[in-house]
Amino acid sequence: MNDTELCDLTAGQLGPMIERREVSPVEVVEAHLQRIHALEPRLNSFITLLSDEALAAARQAEGEIQSNRYRGPLHGIPLGLKDLFYTEGVRTTAGVKVLEGFVPSFDGTVVKRLKEAGAILLGKLNLHPLAYGPTGENLDYGHMHNPWDTERITGGSSGGSASATASGQCMLALGTDTGGSVRIPAALCGLVGLKPTYGRVSRYGVTPLAWSQDHCGPLVRSVEDCALVMNVIAEYDPNDPTSVALPVPNYTKALTGEIRGLRVGVPREFSEVPIDGEVKECVMKAIDRLEALGAVISEVSWPLYHYSMPIAGTIQMSEAAAYHARLLKEHGPRIWAPVRLRLEAGFFIQAVEYIEAQRARTLFYQKSLRLFDEVDLLAGPTLPVTAFKIGTSKVEVGGEEVGVIALLTQYTRPFNLNGFPAITVPCGFSKEGLPIGLQLAGRPFTEESVLRAAYAYEQSTEWHLRRPPL
Amino acid sequence: MKEKFWLKKESFLAIAEASGVDLSALHGEELYTYLRGVLPGLKRVGELELGDLEPVLPRLSLEEPKR
């Protein structure tokens, strides 16, 4: 197996090879470092590369495995982290130069868990500054580039996580998702991306954007890898005040491929907002495929969907401004203008408006939950468009010109507001060869159902087997 | 007819000053224009009948973080 083939494997494929000692973690890490060096000038996925540390960790893993101390499916698997996960002794910039001197004194909870599972950290990944934007553009550290067409956006904010994983620079990546920041770049780069239920995965040791809507989740190349990562990072954490102490299942066991009788609802409101015709057709075909696999498809109505943007926006802007108030006062002019404007806008929302939005959120949550009286999952597009050119501020969709922030988050943000689990899985490609994603969402703490359906769909197609033409 | 923007320039300047927003080098104009575009859309929250619903509240842990 050559280096490229090694980097194109999934963790689910490579893990057993490492366990059987057919491949050494040192070979794996060396192959990935070579790939990073070859592709980084075109993709700009990384902010900090940890070559020496990764090689040292790989040698340690090799020694452990040779002495029969195999830790599990992620032992020796190369990992990348969005550069807002705290890493002990390694700078954590959140994608802005004004924070490049910040070196955390501890690992965030999920980082600690992944290291304990034997995953090898290759580096810290580029992101939309402060995770506040859905395109993956960044003037401080350079824009991220989509491996399927390097002139196009990766999506964001976890853009480096998506480009690195899609291109084989790393095998697994973690991102954060406040309005879609895992699912958007995952969909635009042809990956699987999961936003778990709010409270399922610890946020401790992660730079916040908006506390009540922030989630951590994996960006990976298969649903199986998604389950493998969730098996490690999902746990109750007393250090995160919103963490929920519910039993954590073995997510891999949910991947049966069996979805007969699963009730899948398609909200009619999803077609009342701008969507590209080619994307819509592709997603409808994916939903037909779910039906062919035995799911029972029905149309559902979710009228409050249209209020998710103003409710979530009010909350996000207020919380983001509150968290970054000091940074803005001390370094405002040094923050990239589009991000600075969005942050400062939060100062102009009144406390009463924030509380009203949180009351409206209670209503939104209740109505969202009621939808699941009729169905087990919701299905629809992850995004209304494919990746567009870097530097675009408005996109024409169905004869309407729409701002990119609202457009990219229109299907993802509602699930940050209600906190329900939602996954994106590749469901096709445009005529231009750009990936399209299917989003599946479930009721709280039903990641198993979400993963089961995503897996059944994935295994009935070959979209996830394609690799970018790099 | 386009609705008049409720945030008067004087109020904008006062809030900006109180919040420590640096308005030098045309940034004030840029921010005011941005707010005109964004804030009106958020007002739709007020259309919802919320009755006696309480806001979403975080469940607080009383434990100290353990590193």
A299-314 tens-digit pLDDT = 999 999 999 999 999 9
pTM recorded for the entire structure = 0.97
pLDDT at B56: 85
pLDDT at B1: 47
pLDDT at A142: 98
pLDDT at A398: 84
Q: What is the pLDDT of residues A217-264, one digit of tens each?
A: 999 999 999 999 999 999 999 999 999 999 999 999 999 999 999 999
Q: Which residues 6+ apart lie within 8 Å of A168 measured at CB?
A: A4, A7, A8, A32, A35, A467
Residue of A nearest to B6 (CA): A348
Q: Give percent of chain B with pLDDT exceeding 90.
A: 66
Q: Give percent of chain A with pLDDT exceeding 90.
A: 98
Residue type (1 letter), A260? R
Q: Which of A240, A332, A361 sits opposite B22 (nearest CB)?
A: A332
pLDDT at B61: 59
Whether pLDDT at B4 is above 90: no
Give the minimum alpha-carbon distance from A318 to chain B in angstroms, rounded to a whole number. Answer: 12
Whether pLDDT at B3 is above 70: no
Residue of A nearest to B21 (CA): A329
Q: Which of A242, A317, A347 sits opposite B19 (nearest CB)?
A: A347
Give the minimum alpha-carbon distance from B2 to chain A in angstroms, rounded to a whole number. Answer: 19
| pLDDT (mean) for A278-289 | 98
| pLDDT (mean) for A79-107 | 98
Q: Catalytic residue numbers of A?
A: 82, 157, 181
Mutate to test the interface with B, among A237, A307, A359 (most CBs of B within 10 A): A359
pLDDT at A423: 99
Q: What is the pLDDT of residues A288-346, one digit of tens each?
A: 999 999 999 999 999 999 999 999 999 999 999 999 999 999 999 999 999 999 999 99
Residue of B nearest to A332 (CA): B22
Asked which of A133-137, A246-250, A289-293, B59-63 is least confident by mean pLDDT, the reply is: B59-63
| pLDDT (mean) for A109-133 | 98
A89 CB within 8 Å of a chain B CB? no
Q: What is the pLDDT of residues A408-426, one digit of tens each?
A: 999 999 999 999 999 999 9
Q: Which of A105, A328, A353 sits opposite B21 (nearest CB)?
A: A328
Q: What is the pLDDT of residues A14-47, one digit of tens each?
A: 999 999 999 999 999 999 999 999 999 999 999 9
Whether pLDDT at A149 is above 90: yes
Asked which of A64-68, A224-228, A234-238, B53-57 is least confident by mean pLDDT, the reply is: B53-57
**What's the mean pLDDT when you consider all of chain A?**
97
Determine, for residues B45 and A238 on separate chains, whether the beta-carbon distance falls below 8 Å.
no
Determine, for residues B56 and A344 on separate chains, whether the beta-carbon distance falls below 8 Å.
no
Whether pLDDT at A93 is above 90: yes
**Residue B45 with chain A: CB contacts under 8 Å:** 307, 310-311, 314, 353, 356-357, 360
User: Strands A422-429 and A192-195, how do they pair?
Assistant: antiparallel
A215 CB within 8 Å of a chain B CB? no
**Residue B16 with chain A: CB contacts under 8 Å:** 344, 347
Determine, for residues B30 and A310 on separate chains, whether the beta-carbon distance falls below 8 Å.
no
pLDDT at A399: 87
Q: What is the pLDDT of residues B7-34, one digit of tens each?
A: 999 999 999 999 999 888 789 999 999 9
Instruction: Supply A453's token pair.
Output: 């359906």
What B52-56 contacts at long range (C-beta under 8 Å, 24+ apart), as own/partner pairs, is B53/A359, B53/A362, B53/A363, B54/A359, B54/A362, B55/A355, B55/A358, B55/A359, B55/A361, B55/A362, B56/A212, B56/A358, B56/A361, B56/A362, B56/A365
| pLDDT (mean) for A427-448 | 98
Residue of A nearest to B65 (CA): A239
pLDDT at A82: 98
Residue of B nearest to A328 (CA): B21
CB A209 within 8 A of CB A132: yes
Whether pLDDT at B62 is above 70: no
pLDDT at B24: 86
* Calpha distance A415→A103 (Å, rounded): 32
**Residue A238 with chain B: CB contacts under 8 Å:** 61, 63, 66
**Residue B35 with chain A: CB contacts under 8 Å:** 345, 348
Mutate to test the interface with A, among B38, B43, B63 (most CBs of A within 10 A): B38
